[in-house]
Every structure is written in structure tokens, then in C-alpha cells.
A and B are shown apart, each in its own frame.
Chain A
Amino acid sequence: MSADTTTPAKVPPPRQAPPPLPVAKRPARDRSSAGTPWLLLAPCLLILALVMGYPLVRLVTLSFQKFGQSQLWGFQPAESVGFDNFAGVLGDGEFWAVVVRTIVFAAGCVIFTMVAGMLIALLLQRVSGWVKTLVNIALVASWGMPIIVATTVFKWLFDADYGILNAILSKLPGVDLVGHNWFASGPQGLAVIMLLVVWGAVPFVVITLSAGLTQVPAELEEAARLDGAGAWGVFRYVTLPILKPIIVMLTTLSVIWDMGVFPQVFVMRNGHPEAEFQLLTTYSYDRAFVVNDYAQGSAIALLTVLLLLGVVAVYMRQMLKIGEVE
């Protein structure tokens, strides 16, 4: 809606800007600039068409073909099988278990990331300068950690025999986790992986929200407080609405990222995630590169992308809205 109202307002200014230029020059400039943007875009679009467009098309066609080892090595041509792959995937109970697991996992990651991020951002407004600096250092360091390194470190923290976490937790009264294997069960292991994802994702959220919080006018909060709003009221009716565009953007981005979690699971499980650990990404990978059914793997990947489409649409609308205003 707001995109429609801003568009007409945005178009005129560039038209008004040229008048100071000599009138005779204008048509020439307009004509030359008609092709220029496409010329500038050409290399970018060409590369994207090759490494993104073509594979995307191939992903779709693959998922309607029979494509295994013999097609990969060219012994047999890939033949079309219609919706067989999809029927195979959708008819498999395991697939649905994976879908549910992925959604629960991603939802948990997003909710914990956003809530923790918001709480820490609000906390940072209330602490002394030196505490803020310390927290920021820790956040940026964990944000900057390569995912593979972070995963490796978490694997070590949660190691059954020598992990520091079991040792610390076992010191608590009534807790005995000596030798406890966190990855013996899927839900527990995925909870650890969720913690890893959240730990890595919170800094970006905190830093972005902190920057957003500085834009909330202090007078507005003051006015709400004078009108009798408590801390929650000020947050709910003043801070939150102003931060909404940032929150929508962060949430949608988080959903997209957390639905695509792969290396964390893959490396945690030493390259062979057990059935209980499979998410859509690893499941698709498994189908393609372990079972060597590239077609079904593609079908699963395609279904994942379709599942994300709604979220992506919300994100894009938000980004375009931002793009309109500038």
C-alpha cells in the first residue's frame, strides 16, 4: 500500500533536477543513458544467469527426471518421469517427519534469536559504558567466528568425555552429566545445534536493533512515561512500532537463514547426520550424494525453496519499501 503512495511522490524530483543544465544537452544525455544502465548491468546479469539462473532451471527440470549415477556419467540419457519424484518424496513418511523437524528447529532458532537479541539490545541501553563495550566485544567476536570454527568449538564444549559443559553442569547439586552424550538423541542434539545457531545469530540482531533503538526519539518515550505508561507500555506502544520495519527484516532474514542451516548439523555429526538429525537441507544432500538419487534430492530442495517463498515475499516487500523512500 505505502509503496503505491510513495511511488508518484518519488518520480518527479529527478525530472525537476536537470533544468539548470543547458537545455540543448538534455535529449542527447537521455538517449545515451537509455542503454548505459543495461551495459553496466550486463556482466553481473550474465554471470548470475550462468551460475544462478541455469542451475535454478536445472533444479526444476532435474526434479522431473530420473537422474542417478548412470545419468551422471552419461551412460544413460536422463528421461522425464513427470511427477514421480515428487510423488516418491511426498509419499514418504520420513519426508514429513523431516519437514516438521525443520520447521520446529527453524522456528525455535528464530524465536530464541529475536527474543534474546531484543532483550540484550534493551539491556545494553541500561548498562554502564564499560559493560557495553565488553558485551559488544564478545558479540562481535562471536559474530565474526567462521561457522565451521564455531561448530567445531561447540562440538568440543559439548564433548561427552572431556567437554567443559558436562564438567561444569555436574558440579551443580543433583546433576550428574559425567560422560553424558548430548548427541545420543536427536532432540537433545538438535537443541545443542540450535544453541550454536542462536549464539552465532544473536550478535547481528543485537547490533542492528541497538542501532535502531538510538533512532527512537527520547521525547516520545518521555511523553509516554509522563502519560503514565510503565516500562512495558513504553516498549509495546512506542519502541516496538518504531522498530517494526527492522524487526520484520531481521525475522524474515533469520527464517531464511535458519531454514538453510547445513554445515552446523553436517559437521556436528561428522558428515553423516543420523536419521533423527536430518533437516530438509541435509536430507536433500543425503538423497543426492549418498543415495545418488540426484532427481529426488532436487525435488526436496525445490520443495524447500517453495516452502520459503512466502517468507521471502514478506522480506522483499519490506526491502522494496525501504528502497522507495530514499
Chain B
Amino acid sequence: MSSMSTVTVRGRSRLGWNLLGLLVFVIAGFPVYWMLNTAFKPAKDAIDPDPSLLPTGITFSNFSRALDIADFWGPVGRSLIVSVSVVAIGIVIGLLAALAISRFAFRGRKIVIVGILAVQMVPLVAMIIPVFLLLNDLGQYDKLSGLILTYLTFILPFTVWTLRGFIVNIPKELEEAAMVDGCSRTSAFIRVVFPLLAPGMVATSVYAFIQAWNEYLYALMLLSQENQTATVWLGNFTTKHGTEYAPMMAGSTMMAVPIVVLFLLVQRKMAAGLTAGAVKG
């Protein structure tokens, strides 16, 4: 592509950059690699003071130990119930709100936008005390419904704001054209906007699902031991007698792989939506 004279110079400096890039790859990827490496390692190799960097043989015994140590499917089921409910409620209610702030001009719109943005900024940790007392008063402590309700505090602002981003990128003219052709506002939305919005909604749902699935503090505080969710389940590997690292890495792998795969699927769409707005500013 470039002229012959510069090719070697450029090639040499590119080699340097590539080596640096590979170093970044190794450092960034190492924790993930080591998790997988340990998970599939025979347990006795995991407690070798001079561990081998390469796999020393593949075994699934850590996984069966991880499944034995404490009930796994119960927490996973509870996490699924919570995450799916939160996403279903969040996406429907969030879509309505996102439509209101992106497609209607009304008095107080700006205040609502500022409010939703501000709510997103309150650290969840700061809220744990009053939320705990609120659920205690409502009789929702140690109930999945209580956890679902509290997760909406961070899922709702997120879905509203993200969906708003996707909606404003759909030209208003399309809707207006449909309305000129005789559609009502509602049917213009359902026939024109909704199909264009669907991919964004899927990405937002998946992302919200991941956030709900990964939440730890509220799950730990608002549910008792026998109702624990998947993230809290991972704490079972550390007892007074020490930590069973190899099964713990197997457990981590089981937790992480589905989430990372989901994440890979939607990440591009989410990042694009985010920066599309940012660069315009």
C-alpha cells in the first residue's frame, strides 16, 4: 500500500508497536487465562508452590467439587428469576419513559432528564442502609421480590437513558411521514420506530441482565444464606479452614463464561450507542 522506500521503516516501527500490543494482550488476558488454567488443573497441581504456566492436564474434578460444595443450581435459578424479572419490568417501563423524554416536548422535561441522570449517580452502597430498613418495613427482607424492586433503582435509570439514546438516533421524520400517511401516533411508533429500535432494545436488555446478574452487595445484604444468589454463592469456597482455590476457579469459570459470552454479543452495539452521542457533543 505504502511506497516501497518507507515500507521497511514503517515495518520496523510497526513490529515494535505489535510487540507492545502483544504485551498488553498478555497482561490484560492473564487473569482470565489463569482462571481457566486453574479450573481445569488437577487440584494437587493448583497448590504447587512453583506452578507451571502451561496447562498440566485437563480434569473436570474441580467442577464437580464446585457443584458439591454448596447448592449451585438453587442460587443460579434465583439469580435468573431476579435478573429476568428486573429486565422485563425495567425494559417496558423504561421504554415508556424513554419515549416520553425523547419524543415529546413538555414542561418539566429537562427536570425529569436531570433527575434520571442524577439518580444514576448516587452510589448504590450509600443507599444500602435505608433500602434495608425500607424492605424490613415492607416485609420484603429476604424475598426475591424485594431484591427485584431494589434492582430497579439502578436498572431503570440505565434503561431509560440508553433507550433514549437509541430512540433519538431514529429520525423523527420517519414517524412524521407515517403520521402524514394517516397513522396515529401509536401505530406510527409500532410500525416505524419499534422495528428500528428492536436491536437496541435487545442490547439494552442483555446489558441490564448482566448488571442485575453481577450485583453483589444488595444480594448479600437483602437475602439470607439459604436464599443466596449466584454471585454470593462464590463466597462459599472460603471458610475458616482456608480457601479451595481450584474449585473456586471452576466456580468462577461457570459464573463468568456465560456472562462474558453475552457481553461479547452486545458490547459493540452498546459502545457504539454510547459514543455516537458523545462525539456529537
Contact = CB atoms under 8 A, between A and B. Distances in A.
A289 interface: yes
A284 interface: yes
A326 B234 contact: no
B31 A142 contact: yes
B137 to A, nearest CB: 10
18 contacts: A43-B97, A59-B126, A59-B127, A72-B133, A137-B29, A141-B29, A142-B29, A145-B31, A149-B35, A153-B35, A162-B245, A262-B125, A271-B235, A304-B123, A322-B277, A325-B281, A326-B277, A326-B280
Contact of A285 (B113, B125, B260): B125
A59 to B, nearest CB: 5
Contact of B256 (A146, A207, A260): A146
Interface string A30-44: 000110111011011
A302 B129 CA distance: 11
B281 A144 contact: no
Interface residues of B, number: 103
Interface stretch (B70-78, B193-201, B210-218): B210-218
B234 A149 contact: yes
A305 B114 CA distance: 17
Interface in B101-131: 101, 104-106, 109-110, 112-119, 121-131
B280 A322 contact: yes
Given A20-B180, A148-B231, A149-B256, A260 B28 contact: no
Contacts of B38: 156
B214 A148 contact: yes
Interface in A294-316: 294, 297-298, 301-302, 304-305, 308, 312, 315-316
B21 interface: yes
A77 B152 CA distance: 30
Categorize the interface residue count of chain A: 35 or more
B81 interface: no
B24 A120 contact: yes
Closest 3 CB pairs of A and B: A144-B263, A138-B29, A55-B130
A301 B176 CA distance: 48
B18 A36 contact: no
B227 interface: no
B85 to A, nearest CB: 13
Interface in B10-59: 14, 17-18, 20-22, 24-25, 28-29, 31-32, 34-35, 38, 46-51, 53
Contacts of A326: 168, 277, 280
Contact of A325 (B172, B249, B280): B280
Given A54-B134, A141-B264, A167-B49, 8 more contacts: A44-B156, A48-B115, A144-B260, A148-B234, A148-B255, A157-B34, A161-B47, A263-B217
A312 B116 CA distance: 13
B14 A146 contact: no
A134 B46 contact: no
Contacts of B122: 52, 56, 305
A212 B259 contact: no
Contacts of B133: 58, 62, 72, 294
Given A147-B214, A162-B47, A301-B126, A48 B278 contact: no
Contacts of B249: 152-153, 156
B121 A149 contact: no
Given A51-B149, A138-B28, A284 B125 contact: yes
Contacts of B238: 270
A245 B281 contact: yes
A143 B157 contact: no
B130 A58 contact: yes
Given A156-B34, A156-B248, A281-B125, A40 B256 contact: no
B252 A153 contact: yes
A140 B49 contact: no
Nearest to A303: B126
Contacts of A149: 35, 234, 252, 255-256
